[in-house]
Amino acid sequence: MSFKGVVDDEEIYAKAVLIGIMFVVFKLLESTGGYEGFFKIFYLVSRDFFGGVPGIFLMHFAHDEQSHFYGNVPFLFSLLVLLGYVSNDFKRVLLWIALMSGTFIWWGYSNVVIVGASAVIFGLFVYIPLKVVFNLELYIALKTSQYIEVKRSLLRKKVSIMIITFVLFVVYQDVIHNGMPGNELDLSVLADAFKGLFYGLPTPDSQQTASGKIIGKWAHAYGALAGLIVFFCESVCGVIRLRKSQE
């Protein structure tokens, strides 16, 4: 997937449709009381092989509170637009980050029911800067291009995307801090989440589960880890394809 530098109208439309679908799901969950009946399918139930597996993917596109929905969706849409500048196939990147982070959450937690797009958001916060900075195809384009203006244009876009992503991250962390203190992402949380894949995370008490405190930060860490892995795998495949093309 190469550094595109442009986003077409069809991609913007597809992302807007996705946000529209998320809004419909949110209103349905809000009107039915959330975790009830058929709509349980949108919730991830950790380590539940029957009731929880669909939520590995669907949880990212469901919210059952206004503050949760409106706190996530503007950032998700903004990051999806930025993703369109650095990837030729934003759907595939989004799919893999959603599935991988959902799987990590499903396995790492115990006795937790959870929904929300924040894991995908943190996955994109990791993936996009890595894609901008460590992009082999973009590096080759900059190295081989003989046109100074082309190089300057690509570099300006790289810097702009990095700045916008950083600003979004800072603002989003502030939103999380104000809405659910203790859910900010830092290195200690990442370390705990990684260990949780092997030993399991502590089971939250009922108050933590109800408030979203404590449990959310590990979901964010799993999203960030998923973004890192997707980028790494994509980069390895890109190097393999490049070597084959040069043979």
pLDDT of amino acid 128: 94
Within-domain flag for 3: no
- The tens digit of pLDDT for each residue in 165-205 reads 999 988 988 776 555 544 555 555 556 566 555 545 555 54
Dihedral of the alpha carbons of 100, 162, 154, 242, in degrees to the nearest 10: -30
Q: Which range marks the domain in which residue 31 is found?
A: 9-246
pLDDT of amino acid 13: 86
pLDDT of amino acid 207: 40
**Token pair in block for residue 138:** 């973009």
Tell me the C-alpha to C-alpha distance, in Å, between residue 67 and each of 55, 63, 83, 116, 226: 21, 9, 25, 11, 25
Cβ-based neighbours of 40, under 8 Å, separated by 6 or more: 51
Within-domain flag for 2: no
Within-domain flag for 1: no
Within-domain flag for 155: yes
Q: What total number of domains does the chain contain? A: 1
pLDDT of amino acid 79: 94
Provide the whole-model pTM.
Answer: 0.81
Within-domain flag for 133: yes
Within-domain flag for 195: yes
Residues of the chain with pLDDT under 70: 1-9, 34-37, 51, 136-152, 176-216, 246-247
Instruction: Kindly tell me the sign of the dihedral angle through the C-alpha atoms of 125, 131, 98, 110.
Output: negative
pLDDT of amino acid 206: 43
- The tens digit of pLDDT for each residue in 130-141 reads 998 887 666 666
